[in-house]
Structure 1
């Protein structure tokens, strides 16, 4: 039967251990065999089978985050049981698991993988220490027996003393060495003869000396149960520090009196450095070396204890503007170089301040400054940041400059709650980004509750859609010349718990933040189209209009969705009217314009909303024929605020209407509240209107009463001959 771990094996192969696990086992076995001499006692087949079981354990832990700590401990302990404890065994194991899992299995949960690697190192260290302690106890017992029965067991003592890999030193009660073994000389890089001229106190690291001198003095006094088991630093011959695990015991004479002190030294420098590296990687950004979000928050928490309570902390949260242009235009490798250059420049900017620079991920950075008398004011420092970033970064033949939007929060140290401060800076950054590139905004506590409420609503919106908490409401669209209802506008409404009802525009805005904008659009179109079909079958002939957001229109699958919705019903497509943002058409790619043409080709009616009548907007109408436009709210409010019918704003709208009509485009206005406003729009030449004068949005059941009220009901036998709904 073939080796079950060999990817080329025949019928004996185990498919569940294929892929990245098989690759890991083969490389693992090869590396361990090269760096662990004690593995000669384990056959190659036995080793691969053992490692395959560990690979399975790793795979289960990667699928189940709750198993990471236990699985890591099992893997670490098993390596020690296999005696894979040679120099570099643990490091190569962690690097192989990291590279194989990330590179070949596609696992992307870095925090989960880091927890698993840390658990493996901890399990390995604990098991290896336990093994060493067992060996130390054995060695100590042999030393004690050798001291009592020196003449009978001298040969055995010497063998253990000279061959053990653990450093051993016997000194008198004042710390002067009487015997040292070769392992201690190797660990501390001294000659044995030199060590015998020294005392144990000469080997203590300066920062450890006071504690260890006191501990040895107490041990020499001979109190019961005296021993020392600790991780401490010693000095090597070249002055470098060595991290060691010390096991110190008192040797007594035949009468029980204190005679000597035995010190056993295990070199754990490599393990310590490896743990330090893992800890560093957990707290720093891999690309830039800056502190990451977790470490930044830890330092922010520490600031409350390290700085005076009345001191001031300022947090700058930066988001690089338009960075996707660099990635898309010059490639991600160039983008990474720019990110590293930005990190370096931000560090240089604060090198004379008590400050910390961090990268939160992507294109977001943060700077925390403990203010001093020479610290620049917030407006000045925000300008300095963008001044620094505006200097071109030369990569190859290209000089690349960038800028940042900046959110700022300033608090007294005593009031600097880390979580709240980081949230406040993020809120301020989002406000700065809305204002445009290279802007900064100071956190405003007066609008913070609204910001938090919006964030909470956006967070729960996906669940609300899944649970059916949304409604489709309808309001009449009226013909101004006849007063007849010619369509109903389908709008979203959501009544979240402990909050007032949210209308269509607010729902679309929140959907953009929550990521459900397309799902919400799909549900709305299917729901409204199905309701119109019910009304038609009940004798109420009407079309429906729905306003779409920019991202809902830019979706490449919009045409496929509309086609699918139309196929679900038996109505003519002309009963569906879709209003798209004017700005989309003004900025549209040829692909998007083609999709809009395809929508009209399906038979649906397409109109523009938020239309202000500017020259660029009129030129945009030439790019794609539309059936109508809805005037922008700002323009409508301007006209409604005009008392004089000859006001320039009213005259401008009057001039707009003939121009649009000559192109076959009809005009709809919004939010008409009374008869006077209605007269304004009739005189201005508008065709349709919506607003409180004709009715607020209502549920489908109440909308049926509106259809009845405005004469939309038709006898069933006339349905097949009725003309299609007029366009709004």
Structure 2
């Protein structure tokens, strides 16, 4: 088709655009075209290649629209090109018409072109015709290809069917699992040798029967439900544990897998695969028992005991309740270390049997919680012994000697008891309460027992929560170092400063140094915390020496574990070197009980530190001969009297008691050796005067000044005004 020139006889004048602008407008139209098609069609080409294809088509269509004479048939090839690019869906043609129908007319190059709309319509019509013809040819090609593929697939299927039948026969003959094909009523139509072996009868005898006949009567109903679900098509496969009955009447545990063939159709069949799991069931039972019982004593373990505790607690008579005993053998490691692990196991087994004998007449359970810990749970009845008599029986049973070779062994135990607990306590809370009661019993020594006390339990839990929160308190700055002056007994002169821990607990309030140190000792934080305290105290003293010309020594108390730390000497040398503090300005307090062994690590640390110039004072010093021996054998410069002695005397100030006389004599003996006597906890003028009267050299306490921040201590260093 051709279109004549306008009346002027010349082609229309082109819009005055640069080549770059024209290319940009065409590319924008092509991108929009590609985007519309890609959102609804799968295009097998890479996005860049597809974009280049559409760019070329847009260029060709614009050139065809502007060509003179105008011809629309070249656009037919572009429709076929779209199909070749993989755009064969109906949406592709629709998006092409929508985008190009508007987009071509909007191009500046076609603006002002006479009969532009007519030309665009004719071009798009030709493109659509080419697209439709290409789609028709493409469809015919696909149908032909598919027909050929179907012929090949049919041939392959026939071959595979023959091979599958052979493989199925081979599988039936070679597998140890039982396989059967049944009709909808469960009657066997095919049985392999494996199923015959599992059921203990020949295949010929099985064939007339059904799967329901060889199933355990209690499992038949579940099997019929499975058949109905499979035959109706509601489920595709059923697999569960099933019991079969052998020809000799023996029960067989099996894993039964069922699948339907042509469910919902006439003549539907089911394939059953039977795996004998009798041995696995037996092994599983043994493993379950091992998981819930102690291997050595065969007693229930903590997990099983806890679950049983919950059940017994619910079922117990409210008037009698239950009683829980938690035992920990005393000194059991001495047996294993001295006589070997085998003897230790024999003792544990003997303890288990004797504890079972103690409660043989009761509704009770004995368990081993691990290592040398046992538990007894008694469901109390009218004749059940009370706690005291039951503990007497336990103690008597354990005390009976067990002879191993020439050794007669006997066991004692600490026991925590929870008797008739409140019914609102959970099993876990009961076990925790018994553990806390046991811990209190062990603090009192060997062969002790303690009864659960809710108020004491709350205090123990508070103590445990403080210990657990201590590391975080140091990290967050709640735990700080405070300083308390050490003064002469008249308070006129400062002799030094004690560096002490102080915990400003958000709920409990201030926690003093002694409790902080004890908590750190229990949690193992004392090693890290002690070094940090030493470093901070020495750095603070160096600052005071430089700024205030203060030459007072700093006293830092150590715990027993710190005193025996093999790295203590190295830490002290590092701190003294890094701070530049003279060694004799550091006084370390070591607990006297930790120094009883003259060849121990603590005593060796003391000697090495004293030789390096560090001053040593004995803490917790009392009237014992062991403490006096430490004073005589070790290079110490001061003793700090035990806190319990100071507190005792604080309540008897002015009384001439036996302890007061001993303290006077002790002070005289200490001062006779040239060692200073220091008292901590002097809070009143009367106390200060009494300690001065018996010869104490220095003291700290509320009477002189409380512990405080470095800034507060600096106030004491300033000379009085006037």
TM-score of the pair, normalised by structure 1: 0.68
1:480 deviates by 2.1
Within a 5 Å distance, the mapping from 1:381-420 to structure 2 comes to 381-411=390-420, 414-420=423-429
| 2:707 match | 697
Which consecutive unaligned segments of at least 5 residues does structure 1 have?
1-152, 712-728
The answer to whether structure 1 residue 593 and structure 2 residue 603 are counterparts is yes
- Looking at structure 2, the residues matched to 647 and 483 of structure 1 have their Cα atoms a distance apart, in angstroms, of 29
> What secondary structure sits across from 1:668 in the alignment?
strand
- Looking at structure 1, the residues matched to 440 and 575 of structure 2 have their Cα atoms a distance apart, in angstroms, of 37
Residue-by-residue CA offset, 1:155-180 (whole Å, 9 max, x unaligned) = 88765544443313567998787864
Within a 5 Å distance, the mapping from 1:317-716 to structure 2 comes to 317-332=326-341, 334-411=343-420, 414-480=423-489, 483-538=492-547, 539-587=549-597, 589-642=599-652, 644-708=654-718
1:302 deviates by 3.2
1:281 deviates by 4.6
- Looking at structure 2, the residues matched to 702 and 157 of structure 1 have their Cα atoms a distance apart, in angstroms, of 94
Looking at CA atoms only, which structure, 1 or 2, has the larger radius of gyration?
A: 2
Aligned partner (choices 197, 218, 239) of residue 186 of structure 1: 197
- Looking at structure 2, the residues matched to 275 and 524 of structure 1 have their Cα atoms a distance apart, in angstroms, of 57
* Root mean square deviation, CA, Å: 3.7
> What secondary structure sits across from 1:415 in the alignment?
coil
| 2:145 match | none
- Looking at structure 2, the residues matched to 238 and 583 of structure 1 have their Cα atoms a distance apart, in angstroms, of 77
CA contact (8 A) 2:502 2:512 kept: yes
Within a 5 Å distance, the mapping from 1:126-165 to structure 2 comes to 161-165=172-176
Which consecutive unaligned segments of at least 5 residues does structure 2 have?
1-163
Residue-by-residue CA offset, 1:325-370 (whole Å, 9 max, x unaligned) = 3344344554444444434443443344333333333333322222
- Looking at structure 1, the residues matched to 400 and 632 of structure 2 have their Cα atoms a distance apart, in angstroms, of 41
Q: Which moved more, 1:507-516 or 1:395-404?
A: 395-404
- Looking at structure 1, the residues matched to 417 and 264 of structure 2 have their Cα atoms a distance apart, in angstroms, of 74
> What secondary structure sits across from 2:385 in the alignment?
coil
1:662 deviates by 1.7
- Looking at structure 2, the residues matched to 707 and 368 of structure 1 have their Cα atoms a distance apart, in angstroms, of 64
The answer to whether structure 1 residue 242 and structure 2 residue 252 are counterparts is yes
- Looking at structure 1, the residues matched to 258 and 491 of structure 2 have their Cα atoms a distance apart, in angstroms, of 103
1:572 deviates by 2.0
1:698 deviates by 0.7
- Looking at structure 1, the residues matched to 263 and 679 of structure 2 have their Cα atoms a distance apart, in angstroms, of 106
Distance 1:451 1:214, change over 3 A: closer
Distance 1:435 1:239, change over 3 A: farther
CA contact (8 A) 1:250 1:261 kept: yes
The answer to whether structure 1 residue 315 and structure 2 residue 324 are counterparts is yes
Residue-by-residue CA offset, 1:486-545 (whole Å, 9 max, x unaligned) = 011111011233231111011012112322121111111111111111111120111111
The answer to whether structure 1 residue 267 and structure 2 residue 296 are counterparts is no
CA contact (8 A) 1:493 1:503 kept: yes
Distance 1:228 1:560, change over 3 A: closer
- Looking at structure 2, the residues matched to 272 and 640 of structure 1 have their Cα atoms a distance apart, in angstroms, of 73
Residue-by-residue CA offset, 1:157-207 (whole Å, 9 max, x unaligned) = 7655444433135679987878643101322444556657987566444xx
Residue-by-residue CA offset, 1:600-638 (whole Å, 9 max, x unaligned) = 112112122222213343234334242221112222233
Q: Point out which structure has higher relative CO (alpha carbons under 8 A, 6+ apart).
A: 1
- Looking at structure 2, the residues matched to 648 and 471 of structure 1 have their Cα atoms a distance apart, in angstroms, of 40
| 2:54 match | none
| 2:93 match | none
- Looking at structure 2, the residues matched to 564 and 627 of structure 1 have their Cα atoms a distance apart, in angstroms, of 23
> What secondary structure sits across from 1:583 in the alignment?
helix
> What secondary structure sits across from 1:696 in the alignment?
coil
CA contact (8 A) 2:362 2:379 kept: yes
TM-score of the pair, normalised by structure 2: 0.69
- Looking at structure 1, the residues matched to 254 and 573 of structure 2 have their Cα atoms a distance apart, in angstroms, of 72
1:687 deviates by 1.3
Q: Which moved more, 1:290-299 or 1:677-686?
A: 290-299
CA contact (8 A) 1:310 1:413 kept: no
- Looking at structure 2, the residues matched to 458 and 170 of structure 1 have their Cα atoms a distance apart, in angstroms, of 69
- Looking at structure 1, the residues matched to 231 and 608 of structure 2 have their Cα atoms a distance apart, in angstroms, of 93
- Looking at structure 1, the residues matched to 264 and 640 of structure 2 have their Cα atoms a distance apart, in angstroms, of 106
> What secondary structure sits across from 1:541 in the alignment?
coil
- Looking at structure 1, the residues matched to 403 and 247 of structure 2 have their Cα atoms a distance apart, in angstroms, of 47
Residue-by-residue CA offset, 1:74-95 (whole Å, 9 max, x unaligned) = xxxxxxxxxxxxxxxxxxxxxx
Task: Count matched residues.
Answer: 559
> What secondary structure sits across from 2:304 in the alignment?
helix
1:452 deviates by 1.7
CA contact (8 A) 1:315 1:367 kept: yes
Aligned partner (choices 167, 177, 198) of residue 178 of structure 2: 167
